[in-house]
């Protein structure tokens, strides 16, 4: 039996000796580079976004370079995402936010569900940041029994606070007035919150899906997260009015997010890892999600000054707070040993959001 085992081992190792070997220092492995000294030199002057992926196939012999041409022409693949990502700006143009017609259809479907008449032609002009009456949408009566009215009221109070009591170096430039208050109420009204959240889920969520939709409740979630999701939803809306009105509140919502207690305060017990139980700290996870969304909408839709501020200060703050929250050690427990009736679906969703 031992001899049979030895024979099988010899056969195994004999087969391995037939495998091709790589000799380190063998310059012939890089013959596909031709006379070029680097990949950048070889692809210099090429404006075709297919080149880099095709270059991967050069070493395997799937592509033959033309020695008589000073430049390569690699036309087998395309990098539409990278092309949009580097040449364009804005969430809709830079990411996969479906077509304009599909975005219109999302809004139409939402209006149908809301039981409202469908109007495909935009009548209003955007509200001016200086509080001008030009283009001010007609005030709509708010239903005080609407479940989302508390979110509208809380967002209004938070924005009013950062506008009227500006801290040093505040990014908020608006001045509070009755017109601005009415504009804020209308933009973050329960009806608009539902519309913008629908646009967020259908258009933006597939791109960055770290919010768990089945367990997300807009009524009980943190108001700063609802506000950020509404701004992104308005930014990807097919309505230019929604796009422009969202920009009015970019800086205000940024200010209330990065001054939120759940985002800024240190743990009372001074532990290095805060989120020992994600389900008990879901509000802190939502604060972190809101801060990241601020970086998204300001980085892609904000002014150049806003983009620089996000790159220099805000994003590093998000990274630091994520580490303090224990995101680097976030993981699921061994569910194979968990009894079925003791499985906590909300705890699973909270952990998954923290991981993502």
| Residues 6 or more apart whose Cβ sits within 8 Å of residue 121 | none
Model confidence at 145: pLDDT above 70: yes
Model confidence at 129: pLDDT above 80: no
Report pLDDT for 226: 98
Instruction: Judge whether 193 lies within some domain.
Output: yes
Name the average pLDDT for the chain.
75
Instruction: Judge whether 7 lies within some domain.
Output: yes
Q: What percent of the chain has pLDDT over 70?
A: 57
Whether residue 168 sits in one domain with residue 126:
yes
Q: Between residues 186 and 280, which one has the greater pLDDT?
A: 186
Give the model's confidence band at 188: pLDDT under 50 very low, under 70 low, under 90 confident, else very high. Answer: very high
Q: Between residues 107 and 70, which one has the greater pLDDT?
A: 107
Mean pLDDT, range 43-71, rounded to an integer: 52
Whether 151 and 226 have beta carbons less than 8 Å apart is answered as yes
Instruction: Judge whether 91 lies within some domain.
Output: no
Q: Residue by residue, what is the 3-state secondary structure of 50-115?
A: CHHHHHHCCCCCCCCCCCCCCCCCCCCCCCHHHHHHHHCCCHHHHCCCCCHHHHHHHHHHHHHHHC
Structure-token match 């929604």, residue found: 242
Whether residue 316 sits in one domain with residue 215:
yes
For the chain, the domain total comes to 2
* C-alpha–C-alpha distance, residues 58 and 247, integer Å: 46
| Cβ neighbours, 10 Å, residue 241 | 17
Per-residue pLDDT tens for 308-352?
999 999 999 988 888 877 776 677 666 666 766 666 667 766 677
Whether residue 350 sits in one domain with residue 259:
yes
Report pLDDT for 109: 87
Whether residue 208 sits in one domain with residue 61:
no
Instruction: Judge whether 92 lies within some domain.
Output: no
Whether residue 49 sits in one domain with residue 14:
yes
Residue 103 tokens read as: 């975005």
Residue 104 tokens read as: 């219109």
What is the distance, to the nearest Å, from the Cα of residue 182 to the centroid of all Cα atoms in its chain? Answer: 29
| Cβ neighbours, 10 Å, residue 246 | 23
Report pLDDT for 27: 53
- pTM here is 0.69
Whether residue 71 sits in one domain with residue 107:
no
Q: Which domain holds residue 333?
A: 97-355
Mean pLDDT, range 106-122, rounded to an integer: 66
Report pLDDT for 123: 40
Mean pLDDT, range 12-36, rounded to an integer: 51
Out of 46-50, 109-113, 154-158, 165-169, give the one with best mean pLDDT: 154-158
Residue 140 tokens read as: 């709509």
């Amino acid at each position: 039996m031992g001899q049979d085992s030895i024979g099988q081992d010899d056969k195994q190792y004999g087969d391995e000796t037939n495998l091709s070997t790589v000799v380190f220092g063998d310059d012939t492995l890089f013959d596909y580079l031709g006379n070029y000294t680097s990949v950048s030199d070889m692809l210099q002057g090429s404006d075709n976004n297919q080149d880099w992926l095709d270059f991967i196939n050069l070493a395997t012999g799937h592509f033959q370079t033309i020695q008589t041409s000073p430049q390569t022409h690699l036309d087998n693949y395309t990098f539409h995402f990278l092309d949009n990502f580097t040449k364009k700006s804005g969430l809709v143009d830079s990411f996969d936010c479906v077509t304009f017609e599909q975005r219109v259809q999302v809004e139409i479907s939402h209006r149908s569900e809301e039981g409202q008449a469908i109007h495909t032609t935009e009548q209003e002009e955007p509200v001016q940041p200086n509080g001008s009456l030009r283009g001010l949408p007609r005030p709509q009566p708010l239903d005080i029994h609407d479940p989302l009215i508390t979110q509208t009221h809380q967002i209004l109070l938070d924005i009013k606070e950062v506008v009227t009591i500006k801290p040093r170096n505040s990014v908020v430039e608006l001045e509070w007035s009755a017109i601005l208050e009415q504009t804020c109420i209308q933009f973050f009204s329960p009806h608009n919150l539902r519309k913008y959240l629908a646009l967020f889920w259908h258009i933006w969520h597939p791109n960055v899906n770290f919010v768990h939709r089945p367990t997300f409740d807009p009524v009980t979630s943190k108001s700063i997260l609802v506000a950020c999701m509404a701004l992104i939803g308005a930014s990807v809306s097919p309505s230019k009015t929604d796009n422009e009105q969202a920009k009015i509140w970019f800086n205000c919502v940024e200010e209330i997010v990065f001054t939120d207690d759940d985002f800024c305060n240190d743990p009372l017990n001074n532990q290095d890892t805060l989120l020992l139980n994600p389900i008990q700290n879901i509000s802190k996870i939502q604060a972190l999600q809101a801060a990241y969304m601020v970086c998204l909408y300001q980085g892609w839709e904000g002014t150049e000054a806003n983009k620089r501020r996000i790159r220099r200060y805000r994003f590093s703050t998000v990274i630091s707070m994520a580490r303090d929250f224990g995101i680097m050690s976030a993981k699921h427990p061994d569910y194979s040993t968990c009894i079925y009736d003791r499985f906590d679906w909300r705890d699973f969703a909270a952990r998954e959001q923290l991981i993502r």
